[in-house]
Amino acid sequence: MAWLRIWWEEITLPLRRITSLGRPPSDFRHDPDLLLRGLGLASAALLFGLGLLLLPRLPHRAAPPPPPSPAAAKPVRPARPVRPLRPPLREVPARIPPDTFYPAIREGRAAGSIDLSTFDPDRDIIWVDDPRVWFSSDHRPTTPPPVDHHLMNRAVEGPFRNLVDLVEEAGGRLRVHAAYRPVGVHGRFSLHKEGRAIDLSADNLSLEQLSLLAVRAGFDWVFHEATARGGAHVHASVRRLDDEPE
């Protein structure tokens, strides 16, 4: 049965060599084949461990950019020149008598005629408030359709806020009777339809005093409407923000 023993020794040799890895190092020194095999296994284990360590740190494949949303595809409105909120205070004439206007040129030339093709309410109309000001639509119903007299062209805001301060300094209280009125009441060519005109009076100040303050505040055209059909008031208007003075 010697051949069976030799045959068994031969076929189990690889297994016995592998299982001998745990034996003392003297075995490796005497068996280069086992030493190489051990080194190979140790290298493989090292590489596997390094792989586990490095795998989470590898840069992930960049995700494809998301498709542009409809909002992002909308063209951005170019920056528009903005009238300084506090325009320089202007020199005023000695008087603006009843039923006269200043400057003494027609409104369209001083403030620019109405042009609804260049007017965009979503862009141009803003809501303005100041606790020192009385807005008529806050206190009495307006003729249909309802109107909010806080609404005005953004070009009005700077001169308007100046005027609020000037009227307060003069001991008065500003009243707003009308501003932006897209339909009704005002004439076809009225700048109220672009919100560039505002109708005013003031407690404790005459309409002439208020007219002079409106010029000083930066309004481009001021009309002392003493005998207006709808009641005496000051009508003040401004140029569009983009318009250069003539």
* Site residues (vs Zn ion, CB under 5 A): 197, 199, 235
Nearer CB in complex with Zn ion: 41/185:
185
Nearer CB in complex with Zn ion: 38/107:
107
Residue 124 CB, shortest distance to Zn ion, in Å, is: 17
CA-based nearest residue to 82, from 25, 116, 32, 123: 123
Nearer CB in complex with Zn ion: 164/176:
176
Nearer CB in complex with Zn ion: 172/195:
195
The alpha carbon of residue 15 and the mean position of all alpha carbons in its chain are separated, in whole angstroms, by: 76
Taking CB atoms, the residue at the shortest distance from Zn ion is 235
Measure the CA–CA gap between 195 and 9, rounded to whole angstroms.
106
Work out the end-to-end distance of the chain between its first and last CA atoms, rounded to an integer number of angstroms: 125
Residue 228 CB, shortest distance to Zn ion, in Å, is: 8
CA-to-CA separations, 50 to 43, 60, 155, 215, 239, in angstroms, rounded: 10, 18, 68, 80, 73
Question: For tokens 């206190």, what's the residue?
Answer: 139
Residue 142 CB, shortest distance to Zn ion, in Å, is: 15
Residue 192 CB, shortest distance to Zn ion, in Å, is: 6
Measure the CA–CA gap between 6 and 21, rounded to whole angstroms.
23
